[in-house]
Amino acid sequence: MTLKIAVDPDSATAPYEQLRAQLSEQARSGALPAGYRLPTVRGLAGELGLAANTVAKAYRALETDGVIETRGRNGTFVAAAGDAAARHAASAAQEYAEHTRRLGVSRADALALAEDAVRAVYAR
């Protein structure tokens, strides 16, 4: 199994975000199975022609999202992210609902605002 990552230097999307999004999608779709060992930060940076800090930033974001996990000197691996991702998303949704309710936003308006935000992000 090999990583299939393409970073477009002419894209309006930052390279670390392109990398993060592609790795996340491949992990969630199963193209990169749980337990798959990812290249080192320097190794992947070299393969993609990116700065090591760019890859490190993507890895940190993915680790925060529960998509990957670092096991010290053993390396970085794809985590069993489905459950972690669902928990993070549910937690964010709960926080949003509580916040909009405190602000006095109606349920219908809160749902419409959330739908607009999701539509805008997924349309990119």
* Number of Cβ atoms within 10 Å of the Cβ of 55: 26
Quote the crossing angle between the two packed helices 41-48 and 52-64, to the nearest 10°.
120
pTM of the model: 0.68
Average pLDDT in the 103-113 region?
Answer: 96
Tell me, what's the pLDDT at 51? Answer: 96
* Tokens 């749902």, located at residue: 111
Per-residue pLDDT tens digits for 11-20: 999 999 999 9
* Residue 110 burial by Cβ neighbours in a 10 Å radius (0-12, 13-18, 19+): middle
Per-residue pLDDT tens digits for 51-62: 999 999 999 999
Between 66 and 124, name the one with better pLDDT.
66
Confidence category of residue 81, pLDDT binned at 50, 70, 90: low
